[in-house]
Structure 1
Amino acid sequence: MSDETFDLCPPQALPAEQLLEIFRQLIADGSWQRYSGPHGTALQQLLLHRHQRQHCHLGCSGTAAMELALRAAGVEAGAEVILSAYDFKSNFINILMLGARPVLVDTVPDLPVLDPVAVEAAISPSTRAVIASHLHGLAAPLSALSEIAGRHRITIIEDACQNPGACLAGQPAGARGDLAILSFGGSKLLTAGRGGAVLTDNPQFAQRITLHTQRGNDAWPLSELQAAVLLPQLQQLDQQNRHRAAAVRQLQAALADSPAISLLLSPEFCSTPVNPDGIATAAFYKVALLLHAGRIARDELSAACIRKGIPLHPGFTALHTIHAKSRFRTSGSLTNATRLAEQLLVLHHSALLQPGAELRQMADHIRTLAELRHSATW
């Protein structure tokens, strides 16, 4: 294996000159300092159109968007909210902050998405909502979850922070939950440094969001400057998602027959990476790879790749292993989520916009290092 390292500076969301031109325009017309203005309105309208929604509230972060979605769903002290034991920790903390109880359930085997059977088994009279997160380019099973939620009269909150622009079962990510959230955080596929949005078709939910945010004015706003930076990113999102999809297919081919490591991809993406309308069937903020070895080997592989300049990091820590048991309830076995937390790695999207030759070299490095660890000859 060569001593080559990779210099993968995260790609700029927009070229520097384009950003400067946006700033010049906002300074010239004074809109950068407004509480609300044309750029925020235009962003709302574009998000509504792309996601086929009726209501959109812009906010300061994806975390704030999730809190608003939970409040809109009627989550309060004494309520329960079901979520995967393998999920972003702020979703868990948001539930606690409202005085409610998280209920942790398992994922499907070898995939970081909710198991609908486990979700239904976890429902109690106190259940108000289910958080269904699309993670690492893999979609939560919303058709099955929505059918279950409909029978039990509970709310589905679709966490689409990681996969903006993806077409899932013929609909945009963020279009199917009773409520959906987006994130515009600093490392996301759409970024304004910070920011988020809540989407819904339910006027009562939209009204509750407005009531919770109005403290004289919007308590958790997205600025005009942030909105102006996001608008051109949305225009180029489909093209960049296609580029990332092609890169993931290249990684898939490079790792296809490795006994040590495998990409976790949806059957829909494997059969149709880009649909006839030119929309990718998955959006990759991070790509999931499963190392067929334990946590120590996984962490060593990540460290070795990072030393090479490859942004390959451990996945999420299982929620039931980092919080006091008095703070949550579990339902059923969490075997699959535990395994993912010990063996999953995620490749950041900054790697996916590299030239093809460099991407192939990265894949070769990952494969070689993984197979060395797998064969215990590191």
Structure 2
Amino acid sequence: MSSPDINEDDIALVTEILRSGQLSIGPYLEKFEALIADYVGARHAVAVANGTAGLHLCMRLAGVDDGGEVITSPFSFVASANCILYERGKPVFVDIDEESLNIDTRLVEAAITARTRAILPIHVFGQPADMDRLNAIATRHSVTVVEDACEALGSEYKGRKVGTFGQAAVFAFYPNKQMTTGEGGVVVTDDPEWAKALRSLRNQGRAEMGGWLTHDRLGFNYRLDEMSAGLGVSQLSRVESLLGQRSAVAARYHEALKRIPGVRPIMPCGGTTRMSWFVYVVRLDDGLPREDIAQHMAAQGIPTRNYFPPIHLQPFYRRDYGYRPGQFPIAERVSATTLALPFHGRLNDQDIERVCDGLARAINAVAPACAGAAV
């Protein structure tokens, strides 16, 4: 489904760090943070163990507590809602816009209550959410905005990079992301007090100037190691090239899919002036049986994924919190028709043709009346 783009410079730098003997809390962590802050356009960056850790820390700083509510989308990876539960808060799901697949800003204001602590938009698949409307709503109601930008490094909303619209934003660098640190994430913010608190919270609650065994607050071990930070430094040195390669692969997919009826790709829309391609997702017409198509593609050796199952219909959300089908119909309808195809920046034309031919054959096999695709 994906493949990290690792070159010899990446390997050499990580090897150099291993030989240095300083494997944690060293110079590459600081360098990585400075480079990320500069790239995004934020004043501060605090690297953490993964994107989920970053989201968790932001929920704590946003004041989420027992019963505190956070308005967010049900169409996302489950971590975006789990981070609210970690603080004993309540995810308040709002249905999505069918074109952008992001939270529907027309529904957000009605979901705000006296218990609302934050709005957590997800820039799903690298498509920016409508941040102007969300920030206007948040300002009217004095609630915090945290951007889940874990899938969106380099994306731009109205010409401005995501990660600079909220009180804080979180990026992630798992191996399927636009760039990777193996595991790892970063929180960016313009607020020096948030940055100070984030550095303490990720490091077992130690103060920046305190002793190693002095803990000012309840914290976590959410540190990012030096090897991961060094890999991030190396990857950032060519991040625009990495993004460009992924964009070129997406463009080749767009062209190849034009000949397959019943299939349409997710495309930039709304205020998106640059989409940073995290995965390549298509939507199938309602009459096409997605699971059967996926099985036929798997039989051809072509993996796919149903990005994303709605969070509220995950088994433990239904069991523990009483969610049920039908509560967020657009997210559920979209989820039933989305299919992620193999995607990374080094796919060549032959790879893309093989995937698209396999998709056309699968559609012909399961729904020949809907097909007629050229194979």
What's the TM-score, normalizing by structure 1? 0.86
Shift of 1:173: 2.4
* Structure 1 segment 111-130 matched on structure 2, within 5 A: 111-130=100-119
In 1, Cα distance between the equivalents of 2:50 and 2:15? 25
Question: Partner amino acid for 1:342?
Answer: A
Question: Cα distance 1:71–1:341, how it changes in 2: closer, same or farther (>3 A)?
Answer: same
Q: Which runs of 4+ in 1 moved over 6 A?
A: none
Shift of 1:375: 4.0
Conserved in 1, the CA contact under 8 Å of 2:148 and 2:170?
yes
Question: Partner amino acid for 2:180?
Answer: T
Structure 1, unaligned runs of 5 or more:
1-7, 273-280
In 2, Cα distance between the equivalents of 1:362 and 1:319? 28
Find the counterpart in structure 2 of residue 24 from structure 1.
Answer: 15
Partner SS state of residue 225, structure 1: helix
Deviations 1:35-66 (A, max 9, x none): 32211111011011011111211111111010
In 2, Cα distance between the equivalents of 1:248 and 1:269? 19
* Structure 1 segment 178-217 matched on structure 2, within 5 A: 178-215=167-204, 216=206
Match of 1:308 among 300, 304, 310: 300
Find the counterpart in structure 1 of residue 217 from structure 2.
Answer: none
In 1, Cα distance between the equivalents of 2:48 and 2:242? 24
Find the counterpart in structure 1 of residue 350 from structure 2.
Answer: 357
Find the counterpart in structure 2 of residue 3 from structure 1.
Answer: none
Question: Partner amino acid for 2:82?
Answer: I
In 2, Cα distance between the equivalents of 1:128 and 1:268? 27
Question: Cα distance 1:342–1:65, how it changes in 2: closer, same or farther (>3 A)?
Answer: same
Find the counterpart in structure 1 of residue 147 from structure 2.
Answer: 158
Shift of 1:337: 0.3
In 1, Cα distance between the equivalents of 2:366 and 2:78? 29
Within the alignment, does 1:45 sit opposite 2:34 as a pair?
A: yes
Find the counterpart in structure 2 of residue 254 from structure 1.
Answer: 256
Find the counterpart in structure 2 of residue 335 from structure 1.
Answer: 329
In 1, Cα distance between the equivalents of 2:138 and 2:319? 26
Deviations 1:2-46 (A, max 9, x none): xxxxxx7x544312x434422332244333x3x322111110110
Shift of 1:246: 1.9
Deviations 1:62-106 (A, max 9, x none): 110100111111111121011112111112122112111111110
After superposition, the CA RMSD in angstroms is 2.6
- Count the aligned residue pairs: 355
Conserved in 1, the CA contact under 8 Å of 2:120 and 2:147?
yes
* Structure 1 segment 154-303 matched on structure 2, within 5 A: 154-215=143-204, 216=206, 219-256=221-258, 258-267=260-269, 281-293=274-286, 297-303=289-295
In 1, Cα distance between the equivalents of 2:304 and 2:60? 35
Shift of 1:127: 0.6
Find the counterpart in structure 2 of residue 143 from structure 1.
Answer: 132
Find the counterpart in structure 2 of residue 319 from structure 1.
Answer: 311
Question: Cα distance 1:53–1:328, how it changes in 2: closer, same or farther (>3 A)?
Answer: farther
Q: Name whichever of 114-123 and 365-374 sits farther off.
A: 365-374
Conserved in 1, the CA contact under 8 Å of 2:95 and 2:104?
yes
Shift of 1:324: 3.0
Question: Cα distance 1:269–1:211, how it changes in 2: closer, same or farther (>3 A)?
Answer: closer
Partner SS state of residue 74, structure 1: coil
Shift of 1:371: 5.0
What's the TM-score, normalizing by structure 2? 0.86
Question: Cα distance 1:192–1:259, how it changes in 2: closer, same or farther (>3 A)?
Answer: same
